[in-house]
Amino acid sequence: MKKVHSMLRTQSKSRLVGANSPGMISAAGKCRLGFHPLATFMPGNVAIIAKSGTLSYETVASTTRAGVGQSLVIGMGGDPLPGTDFVDALRAFENDEDTKGIIIVGEIGGRAEEDAAEWIKDYRNRTQNPK
């Protein structure tokens, strides 16, 4: 796995979402990679990134019940060697015109949340109208 991860990061335009993840989905029907439960999604402009598949589903269901739809949901999984991490996802959402806000759902273990916080701090300093 480590070799595949390294190769994809340096030699490919492909993205490994996660070794142990539900995948990613566009609620607007642009893509569905994985096994997200379709009935809970509603097209909108809030991106969701989660380490936990179950918590990604719960966050989607909660935002949908509140009338807030999703632009893209990445369930990256909590694997110790993730394919996509919070910072990778945040970079992707930074220039996504369909995304106006981002929800990050962390989980115990690792530095992913701290790395994301540093990236967000930098992003807010260099962006006039942050998401």
Q: What is the pLDDT of residues 19-66, one digit of tens each?
A: 778 888 887 777 787 878 888 899 999 999 998 888 999 999 999 999
Residue 84 lies in a domain: yes
Residue 3 lies in a domain: no
73 class by beta-carbon count within 10 Å (0-12 exposed, 13-18 middle, 19+ buried): buried
Q: What is the pLDDT of residues 60-102, one digit of tens each?
A: 999 999 999 999 999 888 777 777 889 999 998 998 889 999 9
Q: Which helix or strand (DSSP H or E) is residue 75 part of?
A: strand 70-75
Number of domains in the chain: 1
Residue 71 lies in a domain: yes
Residue 7 lies in a domain: no
DSSP code, position 81: S
Dist CA 30 CA 7 (whole Å): 26
Residue 64 lies in a domain: yes
Closest C-alpha to 131, from 107, 105, 97, 80: 97
The domain that holds 119 is classified in CATH as 3.40.50.261
Residue 79 lies in a domain: yes
Structural domain including 44 reads 15-126
